[in-house]
Amino acid sequence: MAWVAVDKDNTEVIFAHYPKRANESGYAFGKEKLKVMWLDGGDFVILPSGSIQKLIGRKLTWSNEPVELK
């Protein structure tokens, strides 16, 4: 299945696998406060703003965990 999430800068993204929070260099380890985006180690697509709300019926923010599309 696919997963949707919102980066710290409000970029909406869809992933093929469950993503992890990462820093600007793409590393998922280190201090949580330095993490700014979601990565899953594979391909992803940046979605137009508002797409996630249309797909799942609610708005996501950086503080939310990724949501699986079923």
Q: How many CA atoms lie within 13 A of 40 on its CB side?
A: 16
Q: Is the pLDDT of residue 30 over 80?
A: no
What's the CA dihedral at 23, 26, 30, 33 to 10 degrees? 10
**Could you tell me the residue range of the domain that residue 49 belongs to?**
2-69
Domain count, the chain: 1
Q: Is 47 within 8 Å of 10 (Cβ atoms)? A: no
* Residue 15 confidence class, pLDDT cut points 50, 70, 90: very high
pLDDT tens, position by position, 42-57: 889 999 999 999 999 9
Across the range 21-42, mean pLDDT stands at: 83
What pTM does this model have? Answer: 0.88
